[in-house]
Amino acid sequence: MTPLLTQQWNSPLGPMILAASDLGLCGVWFEGQRHGPSDERLRGWTSVTAHPLLQDASAQLQAYFTGDLNRFDLPLDLSAGTAFQQSVWQALLAIPSGHSQSYGDLARQLNNPKAVRAVGAAVGRNPVSIIVPCHRILGGGGQLTGYAGGLWRKQALLKLEGHPIALPSSDSLFPE
């Protein structure tokens, strides 16, 4: 297996690591994100400044954060997950911007209504944050629940997408 190619990108919500394999974009993590790559793994990957897919990913993320893009168009490589995780991540891709689902809804959609906890674990291990929109999954009562990149980021992403959930009032959830 060839090492992944990586690039740093500074989002409005903090530094991110983008990663690509020969098959597509395989990682978008906030620095320090739970379930992100370890420092040891990162050292084994090749950091690049100019790679077409990583440049396209950063341009699309920038357009997303400025409100000019609500659906990404990038080749994805989600092969690092189990078959079940991959099915959950594929289901996440069908949730449109501004909408949400509960973990239970997602489990039922996957014809496995008793797998709510397993769905939650798979959502939490999504390697392609924002682009595979795990932030659009809420608790059963519509409440905000954990997010591997930090709950404040989940709130900011939902607010950016115009999600109707009642979020804490603030002039901006984006740090200065």
Separation between Cα atoms, residue 11 and residue 39, nearest integer Å: 20
What is the distance between the alpha carbons of residues 163 and 156, in angstroms, rounded to a whole number?
Answer: 10
First to last CA, the chain: 40
Show the DSSP H helices in 3-138 as ranges: 39-43, 52-65, 83-92, 103-109, 116-124
Residue 134 known to be catalytic? yes
CA nearest 86: which of 112, 109, 119?
Answer: 119
Residues β-bridged to residue 27: 19
Q: Find the catalytic residue in 18, 134, 144, 156.
A: 134
Distances (CA, A) of 59 to 9, 75, 79, 156: 10, 14, 24, 19
Active site residues: 134
